A and B are shown apart, each in its own frame.
Chain A
Amino acid sequence: MSRPRSPAREQAISVSVATGAYGISFGALSIAAGLDVWQTMALSLLVFTGGSQFAFIGVLGAGGAPIAAVVTSTFLGIRNGFYGVALAPVLRPLNGPRKAWAAQVTIDESTAVALAQPADDVPARRDGFWWAGVGVFVLWNAFTVVGAALGSAIGDPGRWGLDAAAAAAFLALLWPRLAPRRAQLVAAASAIVALALTPVLPAGLPILAAAVVAIVAGWRGPRSGEAVPE
């Protein structure tokens, strides 16, 4: 790339710093949920998709079974599969270790930066994907370690408001997806279903039950012109 300035790379770097920084909250909240430093680092290195990681520790922290944590985290990762399809015109053909790496760094941020570049500029889109994907990967993992170290040092998580921080983290992940009217209804219905079922079902299952709301909402198409969340 001999261009003097690359908007794709600049965007990728700022997105990486912003996203990486909230690895601190993931690290600290994971410790508060009862995982140790190694488990926290393994989640960021291996699972590497923020929403799924927060979900995993959220279910375990609420006393849920490990299988419920796995299923919830997997449901939240389904969208990454669609990102791979959306990126096909940008990245394919992909083979071997390069394909494995592309898969591992296929997340909200790398897809967003790639697709934010002009549609006719495939090199810029590819640049945006790789710089954001690898950038977020490096910084997310580095800040996870920092957060885990902080989380281990502070003792009682409630005294520091970490339970409230976890709720705010889920809300902040949800917020940008709430623009379509029907997404707001789905979110409200899901929250009510999960709260209503919490006293009667084992921890973790009320969250999975909310997936039924999504299936009902998505079965019939929205009225024309209404956007569907990604």
Chain B
Amino acid sequence: MSPYTWTWIAIVGAAALAFAIKFAGHSVPEHWLENPRVHRIAGYITVAMLAALFAVQAFTTRGMLTVDSRLAAVGVAVVLLWRKAPFWLVVLAAAATAAALRALGLP
């Protein structure tokens, strides 16, 4: 099968699992998920994976560690997040920063 087809299969699989998790939450007896350890791990999994996704997206290129215009863009994003800017502005400013530096010839 082509990579395109595999992507479709993955989309359907991810959608089925996402829905199953949501549906299960509305179906299980309430006391099942009250275990504090399960709660803590679930909370930290969200933080851990978002941090890992951020690091890989910001500082790697095709399996290699890299530092380029994205570093400055991340710096701008951090300042805006700290100043409580809305999501769209953070994303747009990061893109604009990297695009501007690359237009000047930086990697």
Q: Which residues of A contact B (CB under 8 A)?
A: 18-19, 21-22, 24-25, 35-36, 39, 42-43, 46-49, 51-52, 54-56, 58, 60, 62-63, 66-67, 69-70, 72-85, 87-88, 91-92, 94, 99-100, 102-104, 106, 158-175, 177-178, 182-183, 186-195, 198-199, 203, 206-207, 209-211, 213-215, 217-219, 221-222, 228-230
Could you tell me if A69 and B10 are in contact, using CB atoms closer than 8 angstroms? yes
Could you tell me if A186 and B44 are in contact, using CB atoms closer than 8 angstroms? yes
Could you tell me if A171 and B54 are in contact, using CB atoms closer than 8 angstroms? yes
Q: Which residues of B lie under 8 Å from residue A56 when comparing CB positions?
A: 10-11, 14
B1-31 interface mask toward A, CB cutoff 8 Å, 1 = contact, 0 = none? 0001011111111110111011111111010
Secondary structure class of chain B's binding surface, majority of residues:
helix
Would you give 22 A-B contacts (Cβ < 8 Å), ordered by A? A18-B87, A21-B87, A36-B4, A56-B14, A72-B49, A73-B17, A77-B17, A78-B42, A80-B18, A82-B42, A158-B98, A161-B100, A164-B94, A165-B94, A168-B91, A177-B43, A187-B50, A194-B52, A198-B63, A214-B48, A214-B49, A218-B37
Could you tell me if A172 and B18 are in contact, using CB atoms closer than 8 angstroms? no
Could you tell me if B56 and A70 are in contact, using CB atoms closer than 8 angstroms? no
Secondary structure class of chain A's binding surface, majority of residues:
helix
* Contact among B28, B45, B47, B65 for A198, CB-based, below 8 A: B65
Q: Which residues of B lie under 8 Å from residue A54 when comparing CB positions?
A: 53
Q: Which residues of B contact A (CB under 8 A)?
A: 4, 6-15, 17-19, 21-28, 30, 32-33, 36-37, 39-60, 62-65, 69-70, 73-74, 77-78, 81, 86-88, 90-100, 102-103
Given contacts A58-B53, A76-B49, A186-B51, 6 further A-B contacts (CB under 8 A): A56-B11, A106-B22, A158-B102, A161-B95, A172-B81, A183-B47
* Contact among A22, A36, A160, A187 for B48, CB-based, below 8 A: A187
In Å, the complex CA distance between A207 and B47 comes to 12
Residue among B48, B56, B78, B90 facing the most chain A CB atoms (10 A cut-off) = B48
In Å, the complex CA distance between A73 and B50 comes to 11
Q: Which residues of A lie under 8 Å from residue B15 when comparing CB positions?
A: 42-43, 46-47
Q: Which residues of A lie under 8 Å from residue B42 when comparing CB positions?
A: 78-79, 81-82, 218
Residue among A42, A52, A102, A175 facing the most chain B CB atoms (10 A cut-off) = A175
Q: 7 tightest A-B contacts by CB?
A: A84-B25, A161-B98, A168-B94, A46-B15, A218-B41, A164-B98, A164-B73
Could you tell me if B95 and A164 are in contact, using CB atoms closer than 8 angstroms? yes
Residue among B28, B53, B91 facing the most chain A CB atoms (10 A cut-off) = B53
Q: Which residues of B lie under 8 Å from residue A177 when comparing CB positions?
A: 43, 46-47, 50
* Contact among B22, B43, B56, B64 for A103, CB-based, below 8 A: B22
Q: Which residues of A lie under 8 Å from residue B78 when comparing CB positions?
A: 171
* Contact among B10, B33, B93, B98 for A82, CB-based, below 8 A: B33
Could you tell me if B41 and A193 are in contact, using CB atoms closer than 8 angstroms? no
